[in-house]
Each structure stands twice: as C-alpha cells, then as structure tokens.
A and B are shown apart, each in its own frame.
Chain A
C-alpha cells in the first residue's frame, strides 16, 4: 500500500523531471511520430491490398439480392405485401399493384421504388408505362 507520503514524493519526483523533459521532448516525440507513421503506412498497405479488384468468383457470391421467399418473409409488412403481389401477378405497373392491394397508386409506387433501391425489383419502360418485376439475378 502506498502512503500519503509516498504519493507526495512521487509527485515531487515527476515535477523535478519536467525541466529535463522539455529538452528531450523533441527527439522522444519525433520517435513516437515516426513509429505512428510506420504503423499507418503498414495499415495503408493492407488497405490497398484489400481494395484491389476482387476476383469475380467472390464477387458473384456477394450478390445475393435475389428476392427469394425467405427474403420476402424478412421484409417489413408493407413491402412484403407489395412484393408478394408482384410475384403473383408478374410484371406490373404501380397502378395494377395498387388495384390488387387496395392501396393508393402513389403509395405502391413508393414501395416499389424502395424495393428497386434494395435491388429486389427492377423497373423498365414500355411506351409510356413503367413496369416493375421481381429481379432475376444471373
């Protein structure tokens, strides 16, 4: 156990060194900075390796945006109803989906575009109409 006296003494000792420290600070800090720079450099090297083009095989495995039935089940209720309807009636306009789900066209359009952003659904244009369909990966 340290006594009050010990602590007082330690404080004094460190105070005493302060004058010395101001002299040696430059070389000590420089050493630390150099060490840090080396570390950063080696970390950067690792990062560069990681961002090199990923071999196509690994990339393919990464694309699992398919709207399979398990994904469907994990969607929030409102999106699930939209997606289920799209599965059932095939490529459809927001209007057609809205008729089936008995919701507003604008609401369904919003949901469908959310599904497009999630990469589960794709949209295409035929004439003046925009159609949505469950995305086919590969």
Chain B
C-alpha cells in the first residue's frame, strides 16, 4: 500500500490538524507505517501537539539541506502503535515563517519537486501512508502538497462561506490537477444524526459527517482521541473515514 493524502480546506479552523493526527494514528494502530507531515508552514501545529523540538524541520528538507528521513521523528513507542508512526514538523520560529513567506516562484517550483521526491523516499523506506496537514486556502505550500498527493481530503466546517470557497478549489485546483477528492463535514450543528444527510457536494463524495462536540476541542489539546477514547463519536468517525478511504482507492 502506498497512499499520499493531503488534508486541505478552503477556510481555517475546520479540523484539518485534528483529523490528520487522528487518521495517522488510526492507520498506525492498524499496523500501517505512517508519516504525518506539517505543511502548514505559516501556522505550524504539530510541534505543539507532539511537544517536539526536532533538530531539523520540513523547512530544512524543502530547502534541500537534508533528506526526508533526517527530519522525521518516530513516535510509535510513545503511542504504542503496531505500525511505524513518523511525524515531520514545520518550524514555528517567526524568522523561518517570514523567510518562507518571501520565497519566490522559482523556489516553490523546486519545493514541489523536493516534496515529491520526499514522498517517494518515505515509500522507499517502507512507509504506507503519507499525510500532509496543510494551510487553508490557496497557499503555495498547500497547493504543492495537493499536487504531490494522490488524493485530497477536504475538511469543511459546515458554513456557506466554506462551501462556496470549496467549489472554487475543486474547479480551480483539484480538478485541473486530476486529484481524487473526498469531503468531510466537520463540526456539524443541530441534530445532524437525524437529518437527511447528503451523499455528495459538487460531485465529490462526503466521507463522513462529524458533529460539533465541545469535548473534542478540549481533549484534542493533549490526546489522540482514536488512541485514548476509541469509542468516542469522533474516533469512530475517524475509523469510518479510514475504512471508506480504503474502498475509495
């Protein structure tokens, strides 16, 4: 198995990071070797969640200062997963973010080549699933991640603003790059479980509807819910997404 997923969204705060972390963990629990990569270069999250202080970051890899395997941290024993659970972090230092924001098209062009080669390096080293946690919207790094991946998982926070912007992403980015796309309705409000749920939006399938649950926000600060509470609604949804993705291939 070799699958590369970009978790993307049109707007911020729709659950990309939460879903990326839990999905990666779900694969690793199942015995798959996973590498989760923070591509949210302007607003890194994973270093906080995993309390990481790595010597090398994804920034260093994209600037060709090192190889992909040099930047990954193995958190498998910490989370007691049967498969390998690797994480690569984006550097949160403001100088690094400023430098990154100033990179030109030529640099971004090389960064895309490098990202694709990094993905291949991971697969060559026995990784089954690569997950990119991206920045929302049309940021260079996110579009690069989409271009480098096999499939895009779009998280959507159930607002009309987000929905309209998703249509733009589909017609302007995912379709032109011939990517498979699936949507996750996150933070659904109201009695979503009883309402009639749509199967697809703009021709792309909805993999899962996840309700808005306050405890998810609280617990996600320091827990991977699929590991700490596998029976939680949120965890069950993540497992559901993982299973549906398998059928999607």
List residues of A whose CB falls within 8 A of some B CB: 64, 66-73, 77, 80-81, 84, 87-88, 90, 134, 136-138
Contacts and interface: CB of A to CB of B under 8 A. Distances in A.
Interface of B: 104-106, 108-110, 112-113, 116-117, 140, 143-144, 147, 172-173, 176-178
Nearest to A89: B116
Nearest to A73: B176
B106 A68 contact: yes
B173 A87 contact: no
A39 B108 CA distance: 47
Nearest to A80: B176
A126 B243 CA distance: 46
B108 A68 contact: yes
Contacts of B144: 69
Q: Which of B105, B116, B140, B143 has the most CB of A within 10 A?
A: B105
Given A80-B176, A81-B178, A87-B113, A69 B108 contact: yes
Nearest to A75: B176
Nearest to B112: A69
A71 B105 CA distance: 9
Nearest to B146: A69
Contacts of A138: 106
A26 to B, nearest CB: 60
Given A66-B106, A69-B140, A70-B140, A87 B112 contact: yes
Contacts of A67: 109
A134 B104 CA distance: 16
B114 to A, nearest CB: 11
A137 B110 CA distance: 9
Given A80-B176, A84-B177, A134-B113, A69 B106 contact: no
A69 B174 CA distance: 12
Contacts of B173: 73
Contacts of B109: 66-69, 71, 134, 136-137
Given A66-B109, A68-B108, A72-B147, A87 B178 contact: no
A84 B178 contact: yes
A73 B140 contact: no
Nearest to B142: A69
B147 to A, nearest CB: 5
Contact of B172 (A72, A73, A81, A84): A73
A69 B144 CA distance: 6
A69 B117 CA distance: 15
B105 A70 contact: yes
A84 B105 contact: no
Given A64-B105, A81-B178, A69 B113 contact: no
Contacts of B178: 81, 84
Contacts of A66: 104-106, 108-109
A80 B144 CA distance: 14
Contact of B116 (A68, A70, A88, A137): A88
A73 B177 contact: yes
Contact of B110 (A71, A72, A136): A136
A64 B109 CA distance: 11
Nearest to A64: B105
Q: Which 3 A-B pairs have the closest CB atoms?
A: A66-B106, A68-B109, A66-B109
B168 to A, nearest CB: 12
A72 B105 CA distance: 11
Contacts of B147: 69, 72, 84, 87
